[in-house]
Amino acid sequence: YVCGTRCLVCNYCVVVVKLDNYIGNCDKKGENIMACTTLLVGKNASYDGSTMIARNDDSGSGHFMPKKFVVVKADEQKEKYRTVISHLDIKLPKNPLRHTEMPNAVDGEGIWAASGVNEANVGMTATETITSNPRVLGADPLVVYKPAADGEKEIPGGIGEEDIVHIVLPYIKTAREGVKRLGSLLEKYGTYEMNGIAFQDVNEIWWLETIGGHHWIAKKVPDDVYVVMPNQQGIDDFDFVDALGKKKEHMCSADMKEFIKSNHLNLSNIETDWTHFDIRSAFGSHDDSDHVYNTPRAWYMLRYFNPHTVSWDGADADFTPSSDDLPWCLVPEKKITVEDVKYVLSSHYQGTVYDPYGAYGDKSMRGAYRSIGINRNDFLSVIQMRPDLEKDAQAVEWVAFASNAFNVLVPFYADVLTTPEYLSNTTGEVSTDNFYWGSRMIAAMADASYKKSIFHIERYKEKVMSRGHEIIGRYDALLAQERDVDKRMELKTAANEEVAAMVKKETIATLDKVLYELSNQMKNSYSRSDA
């Protein structure tokens, strides 16, 4: 079954594709839509001059996808790639780069590499599922797979979130190159869904948004700002003169101006000069569902980083959770840290009446909006490119699994030949021997015993992140004294193993604590002990 615009089940997703018993890209029914939240931090907005790209990778409602953290070596990257969802064959370039991935740990739905860093120190996270409108999707329909039927051959679909990291990241050496490669793939093969993708190197960050089936736009994130992206089209202001000219800070499909003109997509009341084009009104959505699912998340992130810049609360607020004109980016009131990124991508509207765990305010408003730190977070990746270190030590990939409201974020050097078993051995079988399932069990138990368990979670978070900083800092110092390439690789691998051993110990200890608290709240409990 194919729906060309909004999902008929939930009125949110862009497209539904049913292949046998599999439904992809449906937030209500399907297993595989990644209804995510993205945060991008320019190098002059971060605490240490790093560029940072971060994204929560989420499963659809009622589903959870086990994930793992692995390294894909160059000789493991096949030249012939076949998509699972759209049955599309793609020939990949020779000489791929070694890179990390966060693929699905369960076979059958494709790779879904999701996030990673290659050996050229380019980071990528994909994708943020975004929304559009019927005018765009009618002008450039999504390229959906059509199975063989009534004597007709099957027609492959385009590329999607399942594929994008795996077919782009190994072949690029700068963030800008990432935009160009993905743009060319979209123009050649099309896509069956609307997505946002971030690229990063030590100098800059680029954000690309797909427009319909074959078109795209991309904008360089200004160095002094951060960008918030829930599941909707985000870029607000765009310079087509630059994008179709010097391409200094903007890029797009070559025919984008003609596409806009011929399909009457410019909704501005004044004649545009194309240097400040209102992208969001042309390509985005402003549905009632956005005001429950999307804009509240953007509102909360902006409110956190710029609490005094404008008024966010009350009857006279400049912006509210349902504002359609929330800024795509802002200069933060203070420099942004990794801890800030983790907090905001774990948030459930703390400090507001919308907090589902809140014990104050209007009870009827608790849980009114979709939280950022939701039960079905599969993982969080924060890629940090540190400019003041040697190139092979610049990239640190911070990783967390399961619900961000209850998990911990741990750092790993990205330029390595292998990742620790505790993060790479995830399967579909529940086990305390890997980080994903340990995190998942802690989250479920802590949620069910929130008042008793939350202080265990707070201590867990502080201890693990403190130790993570300490371990990476210690090995940074050792690397600064070592010039031999092989010994440097050994040091980075040893650091990652030490981080993994530390977080395994603390995860098991915290699991024991929250299990104790929840066991004491069982309905068959009784206060009297044996006589």
Q: Which residues are catalytic?
A: 36
Q: How far apart are CA 269 and CA 267, in angstroms?
A: 6
Beta strands per DSSP E along 130-214: 195-200, 205-211
CA-to-CA dists, residue 241 to 217, 248, 341, angstroms = 13, 10, 33
Q: How far apart are CA 139 and CA 260, in angstroms?
A: 9
Instruction: Please calculate the CA angle 353-465-431 and round it to the nearest 5 degrees.
Output: 90
Assess contact for 200 and 385: CB atoms under 8 A: yes
Q: How far apart are CA 14 and CA 19, in angstroms?
A: 17
* Residue at token pair 């980083």: 305
If DSSP codes are grouped into helix, strand and coil, which group holds residue 228? Answer: strand
Assess contact for 357 and 329: CB atoms under 8 A: no
Strand partners, 66: none
Q: Which two tokens stand for residue 325?
A: 């004109």
Assess contact for 496 and 420: CB atoms under 8 A: yes
Q: How far apart are CA 409 and CA 381, in angstroms?
A: 8
Strand partners, 199: 124, 206
Q: Which two tokens stand for residue 419?
A: 């990742």
Q: How far apart are CA 476 and CA 113, in angstroms?
A: 28
Q: Which two tokens stand for residue 359?
A: 């014990």
Q: How far apart are CA 338 and CA 427, in angstroms?
A: 29
Q: For the residues of 311-379, what is the DSSP string, one character each?
A: --SSTT-SS-TT-TT--SEE--SS-B-HHHHHHHTT-S-TTSTT-TT--SS-GGGTT-S--SS-TTEEE
3-state SS track over 391-428: HHHHEEEEEEECCCCCCCCEEEECCCCCCCHHHHCCCC
Q: How far apart are CA 35 and CA 27, in angstroms?
A: 7
Q: How far apart are CA 83 and CA 462, in angstroms?
A: 41
